[in-house]
Amino acid sequence: MLSLVQGVVFSAPGYSQYATGISNGLPALNLNPALSAHTPYTWQLQLLHGRVHADNTFLQLEWPFSPYREALRNTETAAPRWDEFRLRARLNGRSEQAGASAGLSGPSFLLKAGRWQFGIIHSVEAAGRIKGLYEPLAYAAFREFDSADGAFDRFNMRNGGTTEAIPRMALNAHAWGGAGFHVSHLIPLDWNRSLAVGASWRRIWGFGGYGFNSSGMTITRLSASDYRVGPSQHRLHEYRDIGRGSAVDIGAVYTFHKKPFRQPGGYKNRHPDYLLRVGMALLDIGKISYSAHTLREWNIAADADWSTAGLIDRYDQGQIREPAPGDFPGYTRSEGSAEIGLPTRLSVHADYQLKKHFFVQGQWIQSLRAAYGPHIRHGSWLMVSPRYEKNRFQISLPAFLEYDYRSFRMGLAFRTGPFYAGTNSLGTLLAARQRRDAGMYFGILIDNLPGSASSRRAAEAPRREVEAVDCGAI
């Protein structure tokens, strides 16, 4: 377990999300499957979408110089100093959190048929997270559990105390992939309004993983090798072989326009697409079933005395071994099948058109999985993002209250032609000497508008004339 904790702390956990434009069909499925119904293209092909992200509250990467300046420095007279960076532990007396995720999507395809959109989607993901890691334990992992390096000096029992109160904690790491189908439908309403509904279904394959959750515990030292352990429950799950399951996304989007007799002068110039678009979706509803599952439990129903005499001698440091009977009170191991929940979450969003090509969007993503449970879980966040968008070009500056609402972050997202990219950690990338999180996403999106360029210009001409001579303005 300690080796797993150490590995996830250093690779650091989370989930990237980005601003979704009115013309982005396949990328919009990460927010709401109904949004694809508004895609103007006859077809759309996502060759690739990739993302990586890492964050933590404990470790900080520091350079004694600006990496940007070092990259431009003349290296003919002096060797680069990239080996002078260091990892520093930020101690604040609170439980630590960390997360890391990565994903690849594509090739995926979307085809328009009247008011319907049909798609084929593929993705592979991996994610890990730590919630509530006891800070002295995090520090011990950072020092590689080397007592000569002071790895255990933060524990109360090493500083004259007799009691160690370890808070509840959760840790998991999983990898999975999926392939499936998507459908959405646009329903026109009166006054140029509309309702869009959409759903996606994917067959899911689980590639294994681990999960650990603890209710917390109190340890009181009675003597040099005897301890009293308070009531607690600890579970370590190991998922093996190939798991199977399914995932469902469902959503709806409502597009609002004012009634014509309530539209003031210049309304059509300011809001040619819509005044407001709001939506709600449930994402990743489902689970993965594993037939090969090992559960190790340490259940202590009441205070129990625990002797560690000779325990270190029986276990090689740095090597995980199965506990022997009597080493830990209340310890059991079992084999069988198990189910692991996918990262189900609620998505609520709204997009307001300020004027032609200018929008401001808001998102609320709330995880529906317990923070300390064994299931796969993505973080929750709030986002506000101004955006400038034209056909096949957009740029936005999202502002996030991210990582389960604990940190403020700024981002940058853009699309030009078939390429799009962005980050949720713009401030971190600009902070040259100190970093605690990082992330980016990128993709290639090819699409096709209906008709020829000349026919589209001809269809736009009457609309431009109406906009130029607005009766409401007169």
| pLDDT, tens digit (0-9, with 9 covering 90-100), for 98-134 | 998 999 998 999 999 999 999 999 999 999 999 999 9
Q: What is the pLDDT of residue 85?
A: 67
Q: What is the DSSP string of 131-156?
A: EEE-HHHHHHHHTTT-GGGTTTTTSG
Distance (Å, whole) CA 137 – CA 141? 6
Rounded to the nearest 10 degrees, the angle between the axes of helix 2-11 and helix 135-142 is 80
Residue 406 has pLDDT above 90, yes or no: no
The C-alpha atoms of residue 196 and residue 209 are separated, in whole angstroms, by 37
Give the model's confidence band at 19: pLDDT under 50 very low, under 70 low, under 90 confident, else very high: low
Output the pLDDT for position 15.
Answer: 37
User: Which pLDDT does position 169 carry in this prediction?
Assistant: 94
- pLDDT of residue 451 exceeding 90, the answer is no
- Choose the weakest-confidence range: 75-79, 374-378, 432-436, 446-450: 75-79
For residue 201, pLDDT beyond 60: yes
Tell me which range, 233-237, 307-311, 431-435, 437-441, is most confidently predicted by mean pLDDT. Answer: 233-237
- The predicted structure's pLDDT at residue 468: 44
Proportion of the chain above pLDDT 90, given as a percent: 51
Cα separation, 77 vs 84, in Å, equals: 18
Separation of first and last alpha carbons in the chain = 73
238 phi/psi in degrees, rounded to 5: -125, 120
27-34 average pLDDT score: 91
Q: What pTM value is reported for the model?
A: 0.86
Cα-based distances in Å from 97 to 3, 57, 344, 379: 17, 6, 20, 11
DSSP 110: E
Which residue, among 426, 380, 385, 369, has the nearest Cα to 406 in the 3D structure?
A: 380
pLDDT at 125: 94
Helix and strand element counts for the chain (H, E): 7, 26
Of the two residues 41 and 320, the one the predictor is more confident about is 41
pLDDT score of 458 more than 90 = no
Contact 424, 52 (CB under 8 A): no
Of residues 356 and 87, more confidence is placed in 356
pLDDT (0 to 100) of residue 104? 92
Look at 328 and 104; give whichever has higher pLDDT: 104
Residue 297 near residue 331 (C-beta atoms within 8 A):
yes
pLDDT for residue 471: 42
Least confident of 17-26, 146-155, 269-278: 17-26
Q: Are strands 399-402 and 381-390 parallel, antiparallel or unpaired?
A: antiparallel
CA distance 227 to 162: 9
Q: What is the chain's mean pLDDT, rounded?
A: 84
Domains (range + CATH), the chain: 2-468 (2.40.160)
Give residue 300's identity as a one-letter amino acid code.
Answer: I
